[in-house]
Structure 1
């Protein structure tokens, strides 16, 4: 078992145990009281620790340029790692950053969605097959993969996944080398399905991965924002798809179809947990990072 798997198991166990405790606490409302004012102050205190960028942002040591869309703000990689791992309980990762709607914060009570930006240096992805792909066949393959992977997800402590279908079918912009699609996912015991919106920007040695996750009810909202997000990021000169040099550059082992059919990331499970139990997790994060002097829960059961 790999070190990352061990870490994921530990994080999962702690997160699920915390959720279980908070659900139990909620069910015992007659014996608990909560200082909402103190909670809100701590929440605001955490949110004020973040410094956002707007306008033009250089990504990944000159790898690409992000022109932060109007109505959005950008959180850099180091701060994003804190959000994703420390506050949201995801496995360790190396994000380039997070893109938030202007009115959204990592610890927002009515959290909608954020876009995680990563870079995968897996080689130049040949796109010759793009026009010939049968996305219905590809969907069936992905649905079978999701079912096949569920026993392992259960063993690691994640909820099982059913890939319901395309929330938005794959579309490849041949001219600009940008690919996007959305999946509708159903997680075990979740009442509302999850939206997983994927954007890939192809480059010389790999691709930028822009991944947005929210409830399926956010589809219309994200569709309104999608084009601005798609247009906001470009590889810098020397890193562009057109800069590929077959004599020295690596070619990826898969094409457009393989990129779309890539295994469902384990972290999607964590994002889904955030959406379902957001306030419980926020309470826990406040307790960890807010410096409370008082206990979050207090009081005694009435006689």
Structure 2
């Protein structure tokens, strides 16, 4: 994408769209000094779109915005399992996909992408109340029930509205780096560490689990990543046996404790690569990985790139 123009974001507002789902991408990607985005809200036609919960939206653009956008967000809406997506919207989404735009559904917006046939043969998620309905109506979709979001490259889906924030932050991380994503998370007073637990490209690797059983231990570990952290050390802090700790930790986060620690270390390394001029060797020591060779090995395995290449891509020039 040329650096001379803003990244183009369209938010497709359909009838009965949920207010928070509409507002999340509009707020996260709002144009400002550190956010090179332009957002356009659109409907099947310009004008008033009824929400159905006491609110209405006035959108300035019609479906031509989907021809303009680099990424199209589809907010969730009420009763998606009982309502048909407007054929014009389906055709516009299909056309946007064909020309290379990315499509991102928040919550039940996944039903719109499904109606367009864009989730067939892919992994996807939606709000937990509707995962069974999505799987039943669209059996060719691999519905994932226990994730916050799924990134399939050109098509992304998320669970409820809160997970829409996670999805937007994930997109920011991939496009602008960890530091910018963390700044946006702080502005939103949102957790920057949540993740869908999938093998997404450049994910924020430390998930915020559904349970809170080991919150104190996770926070304690994040402050001591430079120190030796073994399963036994973590279990001792949590006051349970290593076997119990490991089993419950996997159930809550989708990672083993040692996988979680490694990804946490890589996350800190990423931010140091972006924000500091420390050498690879120094960063490796700072995050508890010992040597630059060890950091390079795990960085490549988890993120598919090298620390040096990551720094060239995301390091700030100011």
TM-score grouping bracket, smaller chain normalisation: under 0.3
Q: Which has the higher contact order (CA 8 A, sep 6+)?
A: 1
Which one has the bigger strand percentage? 1
TM-score, normalisation: structure 2: 0.22
Normalising by structure 1, what TM-score? 0.23
